[in-house]
Amino acid sequence: MSAAQDLVIDLLVRRATEGIGEHEEELLAQTLEAHPEAAQEGFESTAAALHVALIWPPQPMPGPVRAAVERDSALLFGGPGRTIAPSAAPAPGNRAWPWLATAAAVLIAIAGWLPRAEIGGSGQSMETRYAELQAAGALELSWTATEDPTATGARGSVLWDPLSQTGFMRFIGLVANDPTQFQYQLWIFDAARGEQYPVDGGVFDVPAGATEVTIPIDPRLPITEATLFAVTVEQPGGVVVSTRERISVIAGV
């Protein structure tokens, strides 16, 4: 499943559970328009499932629905004969059930979308995809070097397309690293998440002797509205939360 599909799922689930703003509604509409294979009908039923899941206290599950869930759970989670006992309803005060039901609804949405073709075309070279994003008017920003020793003379740009949730980083003069000593890590600041929670954009290396490198961006979560890209110097393997003590280059919107 592509990053664009992840973004649509994230926006639709958040719209159904907590509501989304005008900018996110616009982004959702643009993404669905750009990728018509994203059949929204399936998500409407998912939203309905989310609504039912959040009803408290829980209502008895109709017989036909119970049978369908048992059938689908056996297919999704492996293991015939898994049934939902009539007495399996959660005890009053147990708030875990709605979130489990939410997760199940999301899984149904994802499972219904898996057979669809991946967006962006598999097997494309980075140069081809880079040129396509540029031609499509993707956001392109120049890197600004900090005073960190790794950034002396470094320049380049970051290319990001919010619709396909893909992009690339280009660097010229960024100091080569020894992966056993440290690695570079991209962080994407998203207006929808707050500055304290930047999204991990992937760990990467600059090979010795390379004058110019192009690195694909690999966000771990969907990005709603990118406001800043920052590359930090981290321990081998990267980190979950950066202290931001060593920032090599930044690019702001």
pLDDT in tens, 127-149: 889 999 999 899 999 999 999 99
In this structure, are residues 209 and 176 in contact, taking their beta carbons and an 8 Å threshold? yes
Q: Which residue type occupies 10?
A: D
Q: 248 and 130 share a domain?
A: yes
Q: 101 and 175 share a domain?
A: no
- Name the band, by pLDDT with cuts 50, 70 and 90, for residue 38: low
Token duo for residue 151: 């950034």
Secondary structure letter of residue 99 according to DSSP? H
Helix (H, G, I), strand (E, B) or coil at 87: helix
State the pLDDT at residue 24.
76
Q: Let me know if residue 120 belongs to a domain.
A: no
* Least trusted range by pLDDT, from 23-37, 110-124, 188-202: 110-124
Which residues span the domain enclosing 63? Answer: 3-113
How many domains is the chain partitioned into structurally?
Answer: 2
- The last residue of one of the domains, among 83, 113, 143, is 113
pTM of the model: 0.56
